[in-house]
Amino acid sequence: MARVYNFSAGPAMLPTEVLTRARDEMVDYQGTGMSVMEMSHRGKHFVGIAEQAEANLRKLMNIPDNYKVLFLQGGASTQFGAIPLNLGNGSGKADYLNTGHWSVKAIKEAKRFVDVNVVADTKPENFTTLPAEGETTFSPDADYVHYTPNETIAGVEFPYIPDTGDVPLVADMSSTILSRPIDVSKFGVIYAGAQKNIGPAGLTIVIVREDLLGKSRENTPAMLDWATQAEADSMYNTPPTYAWYMAGLVFEHLLAKGGLEEMGKINERKAEKLYAAIDGNDFYRNPVEPAYRSWMNVPFMLADDSLDKTFLEEAGRQGLVTLNGHRSVGGMRASIYNAMPEAGVDALIHFMNDFAKRHG
């Protein structure tokens, strides 16, 4: 079977074991004579799949009982608007940390609904660093604080959880969820598009503390209202059933592999060796302050950018694909989510060293 190492930022690689299991169950799901895609979302088979997926996610992330888990649509981008609609009904003010492309988008959308106070901004540093722990001052009267723990494009990741006191902390975990254990109880809301570490595009996970439900603005569309969705077990309308099923297979797979403790160890090792390869060779450069480098998204530049195209072509011939950087930053980016095997990172490092030798 020809599988490439796909370094895409998302949609990204899925574990081969998950794909083959889905293939085996595709046409006739466990003797039902139908595909999961063809099932009623309210029938007992799909309800079983949905409940099992949620139970496994709760186990993986150790989600406390006073949190609801929602399986929604619309991507993380829809939540950029849903967050102020659900939470911005008190003072109508919210604190945002501006640490990259996705923070910018979240802020832009929130400004439609609430007074946004940008309490930290690393744009002047080209988003290559983050505020140090304890450095940011939050507004005591804010309805919530929003941040992006991992910025997918610049490749910066918070090594700490900001302490916002009693103000609920909202985190866009799209590109870091499930990469290591986290303490869910420190957050008011965690949300993530699925297409990186969870499953196929089309599913969005929202984990919300129960006391934050039922406070939405009066004009909040039903589909965006977390309380409405929680009340309906995420089935206010037809949910993305197949993506939900696939996410369930990924959760089961991660549990079988030893859970997030184990993933964290592997991910740290993968990232460390890739950054070491970049730092150890003058031919390559990563601009991010070492303390804030992402475990998931590793941007790097070639010393001579006229070789970018050749680098991508040669890498592609060796089955190392989608290494091009985001169009806004150029250069290269290796996204190394859970499903990227360590052997894929080793193969990339080997290729990079060889390429530098031949072209350096």
For the annotated binding site for L-glutamate, the residues are 42
Region 165-194 residues binding ligand PMP, contact defined as CB under 6 A:
172, 174-175, 193
Q: Which amino acid is at 42?
A: R
CB of 8 to ligand PMP, least distance (A): 10
What are the two backbone dihedrals, phi and then psi, of residue 102, each rounded to the nearest 5 degrees? -80, -30
**Residue 148 touches ligand PMP, criterion: CB under 6 A:** yes
CB of 82 to ligand PMP, least distance (A): 11
Residue 10 or 331 having the CB closest to ligand PMP: 10
Residue 172 or 225 having the CB closest to ligand PMP: 172
**Residue 162 touches ligand PMP, criterion: CB under 6 A:** no
Q: Is 105 in the active site?
A: no
CB of 311 to ligand PMP, least distance (A): 23
Query: How far apart (Å, rounded) are the C-alpha atoms in residues 84 and 112?
Result: 9
Q: Which of 68, 95, 102, 143 is catalytic?
A: 102
CB of 153 to ligand PMP, least distance (A): 7
Region 66-85 residues binding ligand PMP, contact defined as CB under 6 A:
75-77
Residue 199 or 355 having the CB closest to ligand PMP: 199
Binding residues: 42, 76-77, 102, 152, 172, 195, 237-238
Q: Is 172 in the active site?
A: yes
User: How far does the chain reach from its first CA to its final CA, in angstroms?
Assistant: 34
**Residue 322 touches ligand PMP, criterion: CB under 6 A:** no
Q: Which of 95, 172, 225, 270 is catalytic?
A: 172
CB of 141 to ligand PMP, least distance (A): 27
How many residues of this chain bind ligand PMP (CB under 6 A)? 12
Region 242-261 residues binding ligand PMP, contact defined as CB under 6 A:
none
Residue 152 or 267 having the CB closest to ligand PMP: 152
CA 224, 146, 126, 310 dihedral sign is: negative
Tokens of 348: 């990339």
Q: Is 196 in the active site?
A: yes
Residue 255 or 321 having the CB closest to ligand PMP: 321
Query: How far apart (Å, rounded) are the C-alpha atoms in residues 28 and 26?
Result: 6
Query: How far apart (Å, rounded) are the C-alpha atoms in residues 198 and 354?
Result: 33
Give the CA count within 13 Å in the CB-facing half-sphere of 10.
24
**Residue 143 touches ligand PMP, criterion: CB under 6 A:** no
**Residue 205 touches ligand PMP, criterion: CB under 6 A:** no
Contact 305, 329 (CB under 8 A): no
**Residue 6 touches ligand PMP, criterion: CB under 6 A:** no
**Residue 7 touches ligand PMP, criterion: CB under 6 A:** no
Residue 6 or 281 having the CB closest to ligand PMP: 6
**Residue 155 touches ligand PMP, criterion: CB under 6 A:** no
Strand pairing partners for 285? 301
Contact 341, 253 (CB under 8 A): no
Query: How far apart (Å, rounded) are the C-alpha atoms in residues 248 and 25?
Result: 13
CB of 156 to ligand PMP, least distance (A): 11
DSSP 11-56: S----HHHHHHHHHHSSSGGGSSS-GGGS-TTSHHHHHHHHHHHHH
Residues 6+ apart with CB under 8 A from 71: 50, 53, 54, 203, 204, 205, 234, 239, 240, 244, 247
Region 87-106 residues binding ligand PMP, contact defined as CB under 6 A:
102
The side-by-side arrangement of strands in the sheet containing 144-147 is 67-72, 204-209, 189-193, 169-172, 144-147, 93-98, 115-121
User: At what angle are helices 241-256 and 44-61 packed, to 10 degrees?
Assistant: 40
Residues labelled as active-site residues: 102, 172, 196
Q: Which residues of the chain form contacts with ligand PMP (CB under 6 A)?
A: 9-10, 75-77, 102, 148, 152, 172, 174-175, 193
